[in-house]
Structure 1
Amino acid sequence: MPMKLEVGDKVELKKQHPCGNHIFEILRTGADFRIRCVKCDRQVWIDRPTLEKRIKKVIEK
């Protein structure tokens, strides 16, 4: 069962971004997700199974 993730949710990932931040905002959902680093505003495309494995917790709905 896929996680209930929506556009605008902020998630903390287990692996940090090269800028040192763990917090990402979800910009697009579906089979592939587009997430944005809250610190440096870099956007990353990532597939759903990989993202769900890397999420530590959902911070903000």
Structure 2
Amino acid sequence: MKTYDLNDEVEMKKPHACQANDWKIIRMGMDIKIKCLNCGHIVMLPRREFERKLKKVLKKAAD
């Protein structure tokens, strides 16, 4: 089911306070840390919550 990996750019269901919706995965483990590509704000979410809020993967790290 996992379709995301480290350094992928993802789109979340709700936009960030800066109105951007693009994030980069910068850490993976039990928690997933993502960074807003517009303002640079970093958020850490439990994996289950991240998977629930994830809309789609925009760009894979290998691309």
- Give the length in aligned residue pairs: 60
CA distance in 1, matches of 2:51, 2:17: 20
* Segments ≥4 residues shifted beyond 3 Å: none
Counting only pairs closer than 5 Å after superposition, residues 35-46 of structure 1 correspond to structure 2 as: 35-46=34-45
- Structure-2-length-normalised TM-score: 0.88
The runs of 5 or more residues in structure 2 that have no matched partner are none
CA distance in 1, matches of 2:44, 2:3: 18
RMSD: 1.0
- Structure-1-length-normalised TM-score: 0.91
Give % identity: 37
CA distance in 2, matches of 1:50, 1:15: 13
The runs of 5 or more residues in structure 1 that have no matched partner are none
